[in-house]
Amino acid sequence: MEEYELEHTGCARQEAVLVRGGNRLCGELTVQGAKNSTLPLLAAALLCEGETVLHNCPALSDVHTAVTILRRLGCRCTHTGDTLTVCADGMTRCDIPHSLMREMRSSIVFLGAILSRCGEARLSFPGGCELGPRPIDLHLEALRKLGAEIREEHGCLLCTAPGGLRGGFVSLAFPSVGATENLLLAAARAKGTTVLTNAAREPEIEDLAGYLNRCGAHIHGAGESCIVIEGVPHLYGSTYTVMPDRIAAATYMAAAAVTGGTVLLRDVNSEHLLPVLSAFESTGCAVMQSGSELLLRAPQRLKPVRHVRTMPYPGFPTDAQAPVMTMAAVGDGTSIFVENIFESRYKHAGELNRLGAKIKLEGKVAVIEGVPQLSGAPVSAEDLRGGAALVIAGLAAQGETQVMHPQYIDRGYAHFEENLRALGADVYRI
């Protein structure tokens, strides 16, 4: 086993993704492991004695950041292919520096694990894509219900659990995925039983609970709105396979759809994609599922998406909003999107308009009038999913499109341009 040295795919500002549109995407593609599952699983490894072996870990800059955090804390991380091995037995620190916390919003998920393992934690506020206010108050209030004492000094969170974490009753004001994950991590080794209501129901929550239970935790009800965690004194590392990335799957489906293509996706969980399938079917795409495979066959011209409202799972995922909006932009008719999760998740809309789309924004509502053709132009990615959406738009545009700041795309998509080229796209990093 060699030391885990994933190449940091964060890019200099002068780099871009060059897309030459007009090619119809066809072929087969294996979907990567889920970014939004890998990160909390890596945090969970801090709670375990012995080695954790995670298969299907995607090569992402966010995963690189998470591994850097683990090594900073004193963990040993090694890799072979898409398998990551983490041993936290040598953990010596309970703090994460500002520079690493600012790399990604998901870094806050380490709080519950460090606090549970060490009885104290020192972190700055997290960074990541600027999608509007994403307060971590829910995380902090929930941890306080388990006995944590938290105060803020000079932009840092100073957290202690003088008597150790203790089970309690926690009701979230909003079914936050991150707050639910932090509670699972903190309560897994707390004394007594924790009852969490209005919990997030996303598949990634089930994946985290599945791993923790394999390590010896007693978690019941993950995937439902009420989760019961019976604390245990010890957890032991195990081998686990990260679930498929449902957002990456939806992104490649959108790429095939805007080009009138036919794509077979392997290693998908179609049940996780149910909230987005109706959007694809409304555009005239034929979607066929068989086991862990999904086939999408797009018509020559898409119909409108009609109406999309982002909601917590099992509603339409906010992370799929931007790629699906690109489908609506070239659909034959009017579509309406309502973004109910993040306030600033329409940054890609103005860039899509630079390519010839007709999108009007009013608060959390976007009205999209489909156009027959987009035209290539320089555009700029402002966040992860919006960046992927702009590349997809470039696939459907005439001429060349340059998408600046591709480091955002690298946060959530492994080998993005390479995968698109395998399907017939003319796309390169320059």
Binding-site residue set for phosphoenolpyruvate: 35-36
CA distances from 71 to 111, 126, 135 (A): 16, 18, 27
Bridge partners of 362, per DSSP, are 365
Q: Rounded distance, CA 143 to CA 153, Å?
A: 18
State yes or no: cis peptide before 314, omega within 30 of 0: yes
Q: Which of 48, 129, 159, 285 is catalytic?
A: 129
- The answer to whether 361 and 346 have CB atoms below 8 angstroms apart is yes
Residues in binding site: 35-36, 105, 134-138, 319, 341
Q: Rounded distance, CA 302 to CA 297, Å?
A: 11
Residues in binding site for UDP-N-acetyl-alpha-D-glucosamine: 105, 134-138, 319, 341
State the residue for tokens 């000094």. Answer: 153
Q: Rounded distance, CA 204 to CA 61, Å?
A: 19
State both tokens at 230: 């019976």
Question: 402-422 burial, b if ≥16 CB within 10 A, otherwise e?
Answer: bbbbbbbbbbbbbebbebbee
Task: Examine the residue annotation and report whether 129 is marked as an active-site residue of this protein.
Answer: yes
Q: Rounded distance, CA 348 to CA 152, Å?
A: 34
CA distances from 183 to 70, 129, 233, 242, 263 (A): 19, 23, 16, 20, 39
| CA dihedral sign, ordered 355, 358, 363, 365 | negative
Q: Residue 365: in which H helix or E strand, if any?
A: strand 365-369
Among 113, 226, 107, 109, residue whose Cα is nearest residue 170: 226
Q: Which residues lie below 8 Å from residue 429, measured CB to CB, with a gap of 6+?
A: 11, 15, 16, 17, 18, 406, 417
Angle at CA of residue 378, ends 372 and 382, nearest 5°: 100
Phi/psi for 378 (5° steps) reads -70, 130
State the residue for tokens 């790429």. Answer: 255
Among 313, 253, 245, residue whose Cα is nearest residue 283: 253
Helix axis angle, 177-187 relative to 35-44, nearest 10°?
Answer: 20
Residues known to be catalytic: 129
